Amino acid sequence: MVLVLLIELVVVITLVVTSRRRLADCLPAFCFFLVLMPYESRLVIPGLFDLSTERVALLTLLVLFLVRGERVGGSVPLKGLMFAHVSWVLCSTFYSLSVMTSTKQLIAQVLEYYLLYYLLIKIIPDQQTIRKIVYAMILAMGLCCIFGLFEAYASWSILSIFPSNLWTTYDRADPLYIEWGRGLRIRSTFPHPILLGDALAMCIPLALYSLGVWKGRWHRLGLWLAIVLMCWGVYKTSSRGPWIATGFSCVLLFFLVQGRTRKYLGTIGLIALVVLLARPGIRETIVNIFQATLDSSSPVGTSYEYRGALWDAVTNAVGKEPLRFLLGYGLGTFRVLGLQITFTHETSRWYTCDNMWAGFLYETGYVGLLLVGILLFKPLLMTLRNFLSLPRPEKYFSGLLFIALGAYYFLLLSVAGYGWGQQGFIAWILISLSVVYPRLVRRDREVSSAVPAKVEA
């Protein structure tokens, strides 16, 4: 309790102090805290809701925003879709199997993300702030991997410093995640190793791109250290989805983002090849996990097959009656109440929804799935359109956002990673940047083109 109070006090003081000159200056620290802080860092208010460090940071930024009155003009894209989604989720909540659970998830999955989005697009004033936000997120993930080093080599989790009643232990006596067939899988400050892997798969391309943006020696050193740590970290999560997403993201990064980024990709690729040749055990671990995926008798193979059984069970559940077809069973109800799933010739109740798209369907019905799908994929299409329309070199950052968001949406196929873990905040930070960035590029281009004309006159 005291530790959590101290952390939240540090967050508030940091945001207030860094915002003294201008409000935008606190955004890098704000995003750093959102990415770093674990679910265990929260105060439980019985009968109401949890006051997590992320919520304290959001509320602090909101208060500063209202008091300071510093805001960027312009419209709020996606607001119509957000309003429609909130309205539909409210209807789903009223028909939920657990109204209290769905209300809490409404705050966590919907209101927090949309408030974050609104604040960022209204506060970010320039491209330099965007670069600092991305850099802060990379540093946060690098620090997460340092915590992962202690897990892997000292069998100690940073989560153990928080009150034990807040731990997610997966039926163990401590927060370390050890799985039969894969051994210890690092999770750092994330609820699950796959979620850490998802965040790393999104941030590794961001770090590689940032190497070509930052010129300072210490900034670049920090980026290289973070990249090495993140590549090690994504391997130690032993998660197939993040491995695949990281690989495809790097391939897309090579083709979509030119300049020095290609050289850095080549350097990382060469280092990875040397490591695989020098350490056959690493190569064998990767090969064995993918081979086990095809073996239905192994735990790794059954976890792969579970995704198909899950989707079948969800579609059958929502098809039982018209209102469930439209509204679903309510946000958060799958993880709390579970679902009967027939799997490996047995029918039992499961509480893990290892496919977030199936989770959207189960909890908010087909209409809710459609609304959130449009809401999430519209920014992805916006980044692609901006990549095709913006001039060089500005277009490359939009290509980077397209890669990172696309990786995240792909990874939602393998875990309930939207309202569970910090990677949801990372995604909405990137969505916010995808809206703000082209505005700032066009504004700066207009200003720079108007200056010579004014001087000539």
pLDDT tens digit string along 263-303? 888 888 888 888 877 777 777 777 777 776 666 666 666 67
How far apart are the C-alpha atoms of 142 and 99, rounded to whole Å? 38
What is the pLDDT, as a whole number, of residue 297?
63
Question: For 83-94, what is the mean pLDDT?
Answer: 95
Strand 339-343, strand 183-184: pairing: unpaired
Is a pLDDT exceeding 50 seen at residue 455?
no
Going by C-alpha positions, the residue among 304, 360, 283 that lies closest to residue 109 is 360
* pLDDT at 141 > cutoff 80: yes
Strand 178-179 to 183-184 pairing:
antiparallel
Q: Which residue has the higher pLDDT, 208 or 283?
A: 208
What is the Cα–Cα distance from 441 to 109, expressed in whole angstroms? 30
Does the structure show a pLDDT above 60 at 457? no
Angle formed by the axes of helices 27-36 and 423-456, nearest 10°: 160
Judged on CB neighbours under 10 Å (0-12, 13-18, 19+), 371 is buried
277 versus 222: the higher-pLDDT residue is 222
Look at residue 294 in the predicted model and tell me its pLDDT: 61
Instruction: Determine contact, residues 288/280, Cβ cutoff 8 Å.
Output: no
> Which two three-digit tokens encode residue 57?
């940071």
Q: Rounded to 5 degrees, what angle do the CA atoms 114, 117, 119 make?
A: 110
Q: Which of the two residues, 44 and 294, has the higher pLDDT score?
A: 44
Average pLDDT of the chain is 90
What is the enclosing helix (H) or strand (E) of 122? helix 112-123
| C-alpha span between 115 and 119 (Å, rounded) | 6
**pLDDT(56) > 90:** yes
Close Cβ partners of 260 (under 8 Å, ≥ 6 residues apart): 211, 212
> Which residues contact residue 182 at a Cβ distance below 8 angstroms, ignoring those fewer than 6 apart?
238, 289, 299, 300
**Whether 264 contacts 315, CB under 8 Å:** no
pLDDT of residue 395: 93
pLDDT tens by residue, 322-373: 999 999 999 999 988 889 998 777 888 888 888 999 999 999 999 999 999 9
Q: How confident is the model at residue 115 (pLDDT cuts 50, 70, 90)?
A: very high
